[in-house]
Chains A and B, each alone.
Chain A
Amino acid sequence: MKNLFYYRDKYVRSQPSAFCPGCGGGIILNCFLRAIDDLGLDLDKILAVSGIGCTAWIPSPNFNGDTLHTTHGRAIAFATGAKAYNPDLTTVVFTGDGDGAGIGGNHLIHAARRNIDLKVILVNNMSYAMTGGQIAPTTLHGETTVTSPYGNPEFPFDITQLVKAAGASYVAKWSTYHVLELTRSIKEALQHKGFSFIEVLSQCPTQQRRIFNLRGTLQSLPPRILDMFGESTVIRGRPDKGDYVYAVPKEDVSETLKQVESLGISARVVDHIGFGQVVRVDEEPESVKAKLEALSSVTYVADHKESKIEMGLFEKKSRPEFTDSLKEIIKKARGE
């Protein structure tokens, strides 16, 4: 087993970290470095491209290889030029949700359409984090941010479906809770020929405190948000027992918990992206649903699957890759 120092000394430039304590950026960097180490890739042939935002700082200046830290939203377009000219570069793009799906959304779908061999890691923290947590194209409907003080009137993109529909040949989605799966997925993407896209749901204690309406100390937030990611996600193709329900409170979650416990049912309060703070009851739904619904502090009882975000592999297929097609064009033009 290699320890953390091994990865740090081999792959990270010694720079003070620019990340807030508890940022998901470090986890994602870690997964990426383990992936390239496991595959034994040549560091000198890896180019890490990023746009602007906190996410853009994951490779730059940390990654100890070639980095290209570009303008907001344009990382994929810059990367397209470098990769098209030198296809030997393993070109990895780190982009935020605002960067990649907002201002740079056009480049994202067109690169997917071309199926150019870029590995794009889109870090979705559901906001424009660096600029103060404004609504992004990934912010959920109704959520409170500095630019949606009355709740977000917009709806988010389903980015993986968007990129898949645009033609990407490898598409996956994970979160910073799913580090092993994410690392494996980055390895798959690095070995896949064609446009490879991984969306990573990531924690941002600084901005998500407001978005998810979390109280408590700053230190308590990172593990809590990670647990929330675990709570709010399901993995495609993995059996889900479904032997639990959520009692969604009318107002005060502690009142709901008290009422549930008074029925002699064991329960606990959890954070959930879809419901906020909610009472989770680990019992067979049929046996408890009616009882919970009768409680005065409960709005309704949610099925375990409701409002869950799907993680996993969404696409893996083979189709002609762009730089290969460019090589064919050169042959044709030269009459070879």
Chain B
Amino acid sequence: MLKPGRHLVLGNVACAEGAIRAGCRFFAGYPITPASEISHHVAAELPKAGGVFLQMEDEIASIASVIGASWAGAKAMTATSGPGYSLMMENIGYAHMTETPLVLVNVQRSGPSTGQSTSPGQQDIYQAKYGAHGDYEVIAISPWSVQEMFDLTVRAFNLAETYRTPVMLMSDGLIGHIEEKLIVPEKVEVVNRKKSTSMDATPWGTDDPSGVPEMPAFGEGHKLLVTGSTHRPDGVRNFSPEYHQMIVYRIRDKILNAEPQIRDIHKVHMDDAKVAVLSFGASARPSIEAVQRARSEGIKAGLFRPRTIWPFPETEVKALAEQVEAVIVVEMNVGKYVKEVERAVCGKTKVVSLAKVGGVLPLAREVLNVTRREAQ
């Protein structure tokens, strides 16, 4: 493992380092570009921390074994990219239904299908939110640098454990594959799951206002009934509308009610901004450059960068609509997050989409041109 201090490393390596420091002790994965280096680094480093690395037969098995390990008491993780992410969907739904904490890294590549398999993209953001069948609410995080691959992986684990839920780290092929400065801190803040305080714990129900039940592990005598079927707080299967509503609303609300705590938005020059460039992950890099160049031209531009893309920062974006004359949404897909922004601002301000597919970053010049136009 890297010593505390400054390093020059790959984004994927920073992610692996962050995971182990956050307490990850089980990792299962299947090779895929551009995520593989996470596995490589974990395979070398995790056993030193006493953890288990498995290369499974496919991504379905990877996420399945991660869920199994999580219930055996491990902080657990897998990492993949588009095709593997698609394969994982059924078991992601299972993890939501059973409220299994885990971290899933999607180093996004340009699809659909094999697409431009080595090029970055931000096309899976709706898949992160809606990919599995049924209703649930997801936490998804978008890092824009090697440093954030480290910091936000730590945070992903902490959120997964706090809310007993799968957390998606939605990176991309650019952030995963660049080498940049990483500062490894002396110590990271680590959150552990709420263990059961009594043998009568109800692992799928709680009176706690957080809506997050305590989580026992296998082998502790709790006689757990873990099931993806609709169940009562004690795990017993029950298909009544009441129990189903209870679960679905609780697993939704435990995330939505905590949105202010989960929310993490990086703002630059936003105080007096009249034009906001809203972007996340890799596409926020040219966006900040455009904002700075616009400022040097006297344009009141600002960067609004959600690090937590889901749950959607509804109130913040609504407030933004009151402040600025235009929001330019920069993303690497056909224009997806922009839909959510349009919905939230409700016509109160102009929303412009700068969406780019092709596995290439939008250029700072392109973002700047739109910013100039909207500032007039």
Contact = CB atoms under 8 A, between A and B. Distances in A.
Contacts of B50: 330, 334
B72 A69 contact: no
Interface string A74-96: 10011111111110110000000
Contacts of A83: 68, 72
Contact of B228 (A70, A81, A106): A70
A334 B50 CA distance: 8
A85 B52 contact: yes
B223 A64 contact: yes
A84 B237 contact: no
Interface string A45-89: 101010000000000110011111111001001111111111011
Nearest to B28: A81
A185 B47 CA distance: 35
Given A49-B68, A77-B60, A77-B61, A85 B227 contact: no
Interface string B225-257: 111110000011100000000000000000000
Contacts of B65: 77-78, 80-81, 84
B223 to A, nearest CB: 6
Given A70-B94, A82-B68, 15 more contacts: A44-B219, A47-B218, A61-B235, A66-B219, A67-B226, A68-B68, A71-B91, A78-B67, A82-B218, A84-B52, A85-B52, A85-B73, A86-B73, A106-B58, A334-B50
Nearest to B25: A85
Contacts of B275: none
B96 to A, nearest CB: 12
A74 B66 CA distance: 12
Contacts of A49: 68
Contact of A110 (B57, B72, B91, B222): B57
B52 A326 contact: yes
A220 to B, nearest CB: 31
Interface of B: 25-26, 28, 44, 47-48, 50-52, 54, 56-58, 60-61, 64-74, 76, 90-91, 94, 218-229, 235-237
Q: Chain A, interface size: which category?
A: 35 or more
A61 B218 CA distance: 15
A66 B224 contact: yes
Nearest to A116: B54
A15 B60 CA distance: 31
**A-B CB proximity, top 8 nearest:** A81-B65, A81-B68, A333-B47, A77-B64, A77-B61, A81-B69, A82-B68, A78-B68
A65 B57 CA distance: 29
A53 B94 CA distance: 16
Contacts of B28: 81
Interface in A106-139: 106-107, 110
Contacts, number: 134
Given A81-B68, A86-B73, A333-B47, A66 B222 contact: yes
Contacts of A47: 72, 218-219
Contacts of B219: 44-45, 47, 66, 86, 88-89
Interface string A257-299: 0000000000000000000000000000000000000000000
Contacts of A89: 72, 218-219
A4 to B, nearest CB: 21
A116 to B, nearest CB: 10
15 contacts: A13-B223, A61-B235, A65-B223, A67-B225, A69-B226, A69-B229, A74-B61, A77-B57, A80-B64, A81-B54, A81-B64, A81-B67, A81-B68, A83-B68, A333-B44
A82 B225 contact: no
Interface of A: 13, 15, 44-45, 47, 49, 60-61, 64-71, 74, 77-86, 88-89, 106-107, 110, 326, 329-330, 332-334
Contacts of B223: 13, 64-67
B237 A61 contact: yes
B236 A86 contact: no
B54 A80 contact: yes
B76 A81 contact: yes
A313 B146 CA distance: 55
Contacts of B237: 61
A70 B71 CA distance: 12
A326 B65 CA distance: 15
Contacts of B25: 85
B72 A85 contact: yes
A333 B49 CA distance: 9
A332 B44 CA distance: 11
B23 to A, nearest CB: 13
B68 A79 contact: yes
Contact of A107 (B48, B61, B226, B229): B61
A334 B48 contact: yes
A329 to B, nearest CB: 5
Given A80-B68, A81-B26, A82-B72, A71 B90 contact: yes
Given A84-B52, A85-B74, A333-B47, A44 B221 contact: yes
A82 B68 CA distance: 5
B72 to A, nearest CB: 4
A78 B60 CA distance: 10
A117 to B, nearest CB: 14
Nearest to B52: A84
Most buried by B among A69, A82, A89, A330: A82
B171 to A, nearest CB: 23
B57 A66 contact: no
Contact of A84 (B48, B69, B218, B225): B69
A329 B45 CA distance: 11
Contacts of A61: 225, 227, 235-237
Nearest to A59: B225
